[in-house]
Amino acid sequence: MELSCAALLFDLDGVLVDSLPVIQRHWRRWAGQHSISFERVIAVGHGRRSVEIIRIVAPPLDAEEERRTHGCR
């Protein structure tokens, strides 16, 4: 049987790789640099892009600039 498709989607996180410790370490460091509660960041962060998280927890900051300077996706 031959299958044809235009794309494949791989969801490896949590299956083959657990990136949660790295993500939490990154956000903990970022939150500390900006005197923002790490718990607040984690509470709103699941399933959101970095710029969205920054806009929620630190509205005065330029979310796009933070994303660029801190290497967030």
Find the angle CA(48)-CA(69)-CA(32) to the nearest 5 degrees. Answer: 70
13, 18, 52, 62: which one is catalytic? 13
Active site residue 18: no
Distance CA 31, CA 5 (A): 42
11, 16, 35, 73: which one is catalytic? 11
In the chain, the N- to C-terminal Cα span, in Å, equals: 38
Active site residues: 11, 13
